[in-house]
Structure 1
Amino acid sequence: MCGIFFSLGASEHVLPQEKTATWLRNRGPDNYYSHLLKLESPRGAEVSTTTPETIYLTFISSVLALRGDHVTGQPLVDVDSNSVLCWNGEAWKINGELVDGNDTELLFQKFIEALKHHHDAGESEEVRLNSSVARLTNIISNITGPFSFVFYDGLHRRLYFSRDCLGRRSLLHRQDDYGDLRICSVSDGSPGAAFEEVETDGLHMIDLSRVTLSKNMPDETPRLSYLVEVVPWSYDSVDAPLLRNPVAPMNRTLPSTDPPSLSLSSPCVQTLEQELGRSVGIRVRNIPQLGYGSPGADAKVAVLFSGGLDCTLLARLAHDALPKDESIDLINVAFENPRVAAALKIKHEKENGAEPMPSIYESCPDRITGRAGHAELQKVCPDRVWRFVAVNVPFQEFTAHRDEVIQLMRPHNTEMDLSIACALYFASRGQGAVTTIDDGDTTTIYTTSSRVLLSGLGADELFAGYGRHGIAFARQGFQGLIDEIDLDVGRLGKRNLGRDDRVISNWGREARFPFLDEEFVSYATQTPVWERCGFGTTKAESAPNDELDRIAESLDSEKKALRLLALKLGMVQTAQEKKRAIQFGSRTAKMESGKSKGTQTI
């Protein structure tokens, strides 16, 4: 995982603001480096002076080393072609082959080979350009994993930048009044136009040989003008240059009769275990132990842990993938919400008189389910060290960090954004209280050493976990349910993953999303909807034979396949947990005003 900054300037190298540089270093504490280029006299320059005109390219990358046996500094530069790569991502596979070692070096090598591909002597420059673009899009189309990048093709003077189609890594852009372009993993406080998310619609290209510089007076600051082209993602198998969308379209098949009941013996549950286990395994194996943390901290993997179905299931599958002697940290966050605290105090005094108040943090819904999920993991997998990290956030600490979170989450700017971002911000810091049971309970302040945080995001969208999915089915049956899920999956890349990446990565940690693995998403979207959730399925013909079958029959329809998998893996209580949004479970919602709405702009 890395931080990226690129700028295209008309009169000088444009460097990041001091705060932006700090955030970039936070994202990548292992390496920070810059590379500067000047391109003279771009073709088509419209200037009123006789001096050669220059455009200025600035590349800066920071690196969080999580792949290979050494730190690979960025930006990567190819001296022969003058090409440059700033990469922020994890290429788990390329062309279906698992990537061993450093993925950045391998991808850069492939990009350069694509540029230097042998051409026939009679080919025109336009044909050569188009063929190089086609080869680049073919490489990008065959990357499995989250990414954002900026790549400069020095042979053809073309700039490329992109995010993966699911938008799992942040990349922002802005253009000021003089046409100067900035592309960055984070926003900054520069005057002028605000940063916007780079759309997840395809590969963005600028032909720098066609950039124009114009000014009315010799001593006036020149203005840049250029065209941004987009090579779109496509499901169709058509001629390049087009990016092949790695996520398969939704299976829109409707059942001819009422589908059979989902049960522990349903083949789709076994397939789900294999597919999700594969996705988790790729993300937790072979992580270098380079982290920092408290003395004795040894975890390479941590889970953003509410005790809910999705995150607890990921923790359970991570157990199957990792050696037994590796501990796993479960990070659980709870906030002191003044409104809730006041209401609980009144209720407690009314019911219990002068008895001491219980902990405001331990009464948080996510703390209660988190403790229960931790206990169940310990029971089912007793040979693993499961370290429960209780992150308690006083209101005063929330207010001290509030402005920092608001700046990090830009361009997102609503009260709901702040509620969710604050929960992720403090959880990903990984600092909390750990209780060790020996002769007595000993509580110590602890900071996780893990640089990898597993998140259950994506499960609700794929397996019908939101209340609106049940409403859609009640109104329009399977057709309405499929339409609603398809809408959710289709807008994943346009929603909040960039915001979450900016907030989480500020602590030098990387969020990984097993439910949003391209192959897993495609498996889910191609699976009939009635094999993912329990809406519209028939009841079992006979009464359940044992307790597990009885529980399986009674499970909620939302995400029923995931619930059955949890039950199959021994997580009886987890299988029955209700869906709860992070801002309500951790109590970050309406921290300052009970009258504010989630959509209200900050």
Structure 2
Amino acid sequence: MCGICCVVSLSAHPPSTCLLEKAVLGHLRRRGPDSSQHLVKSVPHCPHHCLFSGHVLHLRGEMTPQPVEDPTSGNVFLWNGEVFDGISITSEESDTQFIFRQLCSCSSESDVLSLLSSIRGPWSFIFYQASRHYLWFGRDYFGRRSLLWQFNEELDKVLILSSVSAASDPPWWEVPASGIFRIDLQDCGTSKAVALTLHPWKYPSKENTVEEVAICDLSVISRHLPSHVALVINESHALFAPVTPLNKEIHDMPEESQRFDCTKIQADVGVLQMFLAEEHKKKIVHQFIDMLSTSVKRRVLCLVRDNDLLRGKMPGAASRKPHVAILFSGGIDSVVIATLADRHVPLEEPIDLLNVAFKLPEQNSQSISNRKPSKGKKQLPPSLECFNGNNTVTCSSLASFNVPDRITGRAGLEELRNINPSRSWNFVEINVTVEDLKEMRQKHISHLVYPLDTVLDDSIGCAVWFASRGEGLVTHQGDTRPYKSPAKVVLTGIGADEQLAGYSRHRVCFKNHGLAGLNEELEMELGRISSRNLGRDDRVIGDHGKEARFPFLDEEVVSFLNSLPVWEKANLALPRGIGEKLLLRLAAAELGLTASSVLPKRAMQFGSRIAKMENRNEKACDKCTRLQSVSVE
């Protein structure tokens, strides 16, 4: 993973690094702690200059500092992505070098788009094609990697592209994950105007049908563009979507899917076993498990592993260093991911389960975390304040962090231990006080959530930032000590609810509009996941020098789920804990999970209790005043 940035200038003088705001540069370096460098690209007799800035987190293959420049062609490349499939590349190769070589060999626009269409995995990129003075940039189909843009009418900074930004004027916006953008810098320099060309994603054509644009709502794309920026849609070259369209058929629902008396069904594993007794249903469940297992395998093995021993390890703890962590609430999404990760992560390597809890204000009033630190004394993080010099527990206030996700997380941990008692599972209890929340929101989180600005963005952004930091407490054989996860890869379950009807609004939609309405809702969910979730989560997790990976958004997994009729994925006539994400619950039961397979959906902001921490009567869609007040400071 990397922090990438490009400043395009039409001034007479080449740009310097001073054009990059100090805050933006700092955020980029936190994303890529292993290498940082800049490159200014100026072309004689051409009225444009580009400053490229690359910051690398090394995870696979040969370490490749960025930006990468080809001395022969003059092409320059910035890459923030992972190639998991679609292109033949070995685990020892640098995907940055590989993709750059392929781009340099492209002789036409069609070649560039064909190459990008073939990549399976998350990515954002910036590519300067020197022979044509083109600047190409964009995000993958789902927008799993952040890329922001800022336009400026002043000629010193016409356009800035960056993985992460800071609140400023003019504002930044997320680059829409609607296709690949291209700028002809030669034309821009001559006309002193910015014209964007968008090559939109399309579904591959079928027999006797024309190509259908997958995502291309011109009004949405141009909504945040300033008036001096022109946008043109170019559909003459194919940029094929990496997934199949959603199956919206609703007339073939089999009778057996409706044969249960919903008024008498309770959320119980026995009900799942009744479904699994159907041969057809069990076949689909096994196909889904195989697809998801392969997705997890790609994401836990595609990284450089070392054999470093853990220092100061506790009695009973594994000696090897963990390389993979999971955002772990104990809910069905995270427990299934952990179960499948256990299949592929080397047995001698621990897996970190990151469980975050926020302390309610009324429980804080007498706690140690509220005391003012002594002058000259370094204050410990809230998770560690209950320890003396011998790293042993000295207070009982940890019980106040027993929020719902902590309770289900511990229960999920026991299920994992039952499935594989030989694995070392590091259940990391990450405890956050209101003081720590306010401090970190102002220092880091508000700038990472930006340009999103709602109460929901604040809650999720803060929860994910603290969880992915991985700093908390781990207990082995009754011995509880401070711990900081060294894992650079963080798996998250996002994408499961959006595809398998996991949200409460899906029940409302089904009740009001039936299966046809539910299909439309699910299609919308996946279409907006880039702007609603993924850019924000990538920025937040990447701030710790870690990479977010999303097994449920693997292209093969999404295509498989898209191919199924909606009633094979969910049955919202059934009660909570069964009907939503039914297919995933059946997979969990088939994998040997019990209690976690029938846990009702609970949103992270409620399970971690951050939504109640500051005692505000707010709606999730309201603009968050806490983010706004920080942004203007």
Q: TM-score, normalising length from structure 1?
A: 0.84
**Structure 1 residues 259 and 170: CA distance shift in structure 2, 3 A:** farther
Distance (Å, rounded) in 2 between the aligned partners of 1:600 and 1:480: 26
Amino acid of the structure 2 residue aligned with 1:269: V
Secondary structure of the residue aligned to 2:472 is strand
* Code of the aligned partner of 1:83: N
Shift of 1:590: 4.2
Asked whether the 8 Å contact 1:279–1:520 carries over to 2, the reply is yes
Shift of 1:495: 1.5
1:208 — aligned with what? 185
Alpha-carbon distance change, 98 to 459 in structure 1, aligned in 2, over 3 angstroms: farther
Report if the CA contact (8 A) 1:84-1:152 is conserved. Answer: yes
**C-alpha separation in 1, matches of 2:605 and 2:311:** 28
Alignment of 1:358-377 (within 5 A): 359-377=398-416
2-side partners of 1:271 and 1:196: how far apart? Answer: 39
Question: Greater shift after overlay, 507-516 or 485-494?
Answer: 485-494
Which of residues 276, 282, 299 in structure 2 aligns to 1:264? 276
Give the % identical residues. 38
Report what 1:283 is aligned to: 299
For residues 230-271 of structure 1, what are the alpha-carbon distances to aligned partners after superposition, in whole Å with 9 as ceiling and x for unaligned? 011111435851210112111011134544247224211111
Offset, 1:473: 2.1
What residue number does 1:89 align with?
Answer: 81
Aligned to 1:234: 202
User: Pairwise mapping of residues 471-486 of structure 1 onto structure 2 (< 5 A)?
Assistant: 471-486=508-523
- Are 1:41 and 2:49 matched, yes or no? no
Please, which of 158, 166, 178 is the counterpart of residue 188 of structure 1?
Answer: 166
- 2:80, 2:461 → 1: CA distance? 21
Per-residue Cα deviation, 1:213-244 (whole angstroms, up to 9, x for no partner): 68xxxxxxxxx422111011111435851210
Unaligned residue ranges in structure 1 (runs of 5+): 43-53, 116-131, 215-223, 345-355, 538-552
Question: Could you tell me how far 1:292 is from its partner in structure 2?
Answer: 11
Tell me what 2:244 maps to. 248
**Among 102, 105, 116, the residue aligned to 1:140:** 116
Contact 1:341 1:360 in 2 (8 A): no
What is residue 33 of structure 2 aligned with on the other side? 29
Alpha carbons of structure 1 residues 589 and 99: separation in structure 2 relative to 1, 3 Å: same
* SS of the residue 1:443 aligns to: strand
Contact 1:187 1:407 in 2 (8 A): yes
For residues 421 and 384 of structure 1, the distance between their equivalents in structure 2, rounded to whole angstroms, comes to: 30
Superposed, 1:67-466 pairs within 5 Å as 67-68=60-61, 70-95=62-87, 101-115=93-107, 132-179=108-155, 180-190=158-168, 192-212=169-189, 224-237=192-205, 241-261=237-257, 263-265=275-277, 266-289=282-305, 295-296=312-313, 298-338=321-361, 359-403=398-442, 404-437=444-477, 441-466=478-503
Tell me what 1:4 maps to: 4
Could you list the structure 1 runs, at least 4 aligned residues long, displaced by more than 4 angstroms after superposition: 95-100, 290-297, 339-344
SS of 2:602's equivalent?
A: coil
Higher radius of gyration, 1 or 2: 1
Secondary structure of 2:43's aligned partner: strand
1:588 aligns with 2:610: yes
Looking at structure 1, the residues matched to 200 and 250 of structure 2 have their Cα atoms a distance apart, in angstroms, of: 30
Query: 1:286 deviation in Å?
Result: 4.2
**Runs (5+) with no aligned partner, structure 2:** 206-210, 212-234, 258-271, 314-319, 368-394, 626-633
Q: Which of 534, 541, 545 is the equivalent residue of 1:508?
A: 545
The TM-score normalised by the length of structure 2 is: 0.80
Q: Is the 8 A contact 1:5 1:59 kept in 2?
A: yes
**Residues 304, 453 of structure 1: 8 Å contact kept:** yes
Q: Tell me which amino acid in the other structure corresponds to 2:115.
A: I
Equivalent-residue separation in structure 2 for 1:380 and 1:314 (angstroms): 13
Contact 1:304 1:427 survives alignment (8 Å): yes
Kept in 2: contact 1:92–1:99 (CA 8 A): no
Residue by residue over 1:147-172, the C-alpha shift from the partner in whole angstroms, topping out at 9 and shown as x without a partner, is: 00100001111000000110110000
